[in-house]
Amino acid sequence: MSTLFSPIQLRGLKLPNRIMVAPMCQYSAENGEANDWHFTHINMLALSGAAMFCIEATHVEAIGRITPGCLGLWNDATEAALKPIIASVRKHSKSAVAMQLAHAGRKGSSHTPWDGGQQIPLAEGGWQTEGPSAVSHKEGELAPLALDAPGLARVREAFVSAAKRAERLGLDALELHGAHGYLLHQFLSPISNKRTDQYGGSLQNRLRFPLEVYDAVRAVFPEQKPIGVKVSATDWVEGGWDIAQTIEFAKELKKRGVDWIDVSSGGVSPLQKIPLSPGYQVPFAQAVKEATGLTTMAVGLITEAKQAEEIVASGKADMVALARGMLYDPRWGWHAAAELGGHVDAPPQYWRSQPSTQKELFGKTTFGAR
């Protein structure tokens, strides 16, 4: 039996397979509000065969967006915009729906990637960003304002408020974005965190704010629903955040009952040097799993069914999260099930779609030839 298509339990959430559609920024919202693009995108990938779909980085306040087009969940309007989309998914898909809560910190006020991705000047509609320290992401950019005590409290409360809205929307799980150079990662990394107070300097101090955010969110999200954390295992820059520090962070999260660690890397510095290759980040997930015993998700250039199967069957990670591979093949889970002998759920309108050699793909007993 395929390990990839075996069930896994995340707190009170039982998933029928080990595949998640990773959160992927679409840069297509208006004032943080989801629209018809998100309706199409989310509903499409909720039918991919993955057991869980994670909504893209959803920002907890307006100045925490990466770009003006980023999705948000900070007011009634952003919450209302997501409601019919979630309702449609529930009507047609059995996939669990998670959401990644995020804050861009100093990497905010940027153009969309297809418009160059560079920082938007204040005079051209940009906004003043905030971060752990007044250190810009790259040379020549406007530096962020260092968050003071009231600012830290405001950001924590923004995460809490978004978590409460996510629960009102009926979402099944949350993931906190502590990776890719965004705010929580900025506090973790000595490259971006130059503070001299209780939130900077030592590893214990740099962990403090991300752990406070996790604790605050966990306190308001239903106990039976899981919360994971996405991390960058290394900055790929000498003297930066690394796998040893990631493991210590994961151990602290384990004490707090974290349900998974989604292990990525990079993003905090343009000086990073990343040796890209298929599955290049899997060893980081394996290291976290072996050191902590936590459920881990592997990400990064995982594109083939047998590759994903080997990762989970060998115990390198417990789940895989696919992003670009799912965009390229929105039925990736179906095709992986056919190749590996697994089963997926599909709406009855599609039961006749599989080739005659794959009649058991959907785990149904009646396919009808009419």
Contact (CB, 8 A) for 69 and 104: no
Q: Do 246 and 253 contact (CB within 8 A), yes or no?
A: no
Which residues neighbour 193 within 8 Å (Cβ) at sequence distance 6 or greater? 132, 133, 186, 187, 199, 200, 206
DSSP class of residue 114 equals: G
Between vectors from CA 235 to CA 24 and to CA 245, what angle results, nearest 5°? 110
Distance CA(275)–CA(281), nearest Å, equals 10
Please state, in angstroms and rounded to a whole number, the distance separating the CA atoms of residues 265 and 270.
13
Instruction: Note whether 70 and 37 are within 8 A (CB).
Output: no
Handedness of CA 288, 171, 44, 117 (dihedral sign): negative
The C-alpha atoms of residue 11 and residue 9 are separated, in whole angstroms, by 6
- In sequence order, what DSSP letters do the residues of 158-182 get, joined into one string? HHHHHHHHHHHTT-SEEEEEE-TTS
Amino acid at 226: P
Catalytic residues: 182
Token reading at 254: 């384990």
